[in-house]
Amino acid sequence: MKIIDLAPGEVAPEDADKILLVELPAGVCGVSGMVRTPDARSEPIVMVTPNFLPSLEEARAVGIAWAERRGATRLFVETPGA
């Protein structure tokens, strides 16, 4: 899978497979994602982590693994803006 790390605050194309990393003031992180299926007529698969993670690196790893299991071949990674 090709992973495209976007600059902080940069947004992936609307129709792209992507994950969004979030860092909360409490020092915990989360990840949400969207992967489109090969059938363009079906709805995308969406994910939001049910639990917080201790770092952006761990959130990134969880998101990438999730997208890969759902067949993403090109994944954009959005990170919080400065």
The whole-angstrom separation of Cα 26 and Cα 48 is 18
The whole-angstrom separation of Cα 68 and Cα 70 is 5
Over residues 54-64, the pLDDT tens digits come to: 999 999 999 99
pLDDT of 51 reads 85
Give CA torsion, residues 30, 20, 10, 17, to 10 deg: 170
pLDDT of 54 reads 93
Find out whether 33 and 4 touch, Cβ atoms under 8 Å: no
pLDDT of 21 reads 95
Domain ranges of the chain: 2-78
Joined tokens for residue 59? 């959130």
- With 80 as the cut, is the pLDDT of residue 30 above it? yes
Find out whether 24 and 54 touch, Cβ atoms under 8 Å: no
pLDDT of 42 reads 67
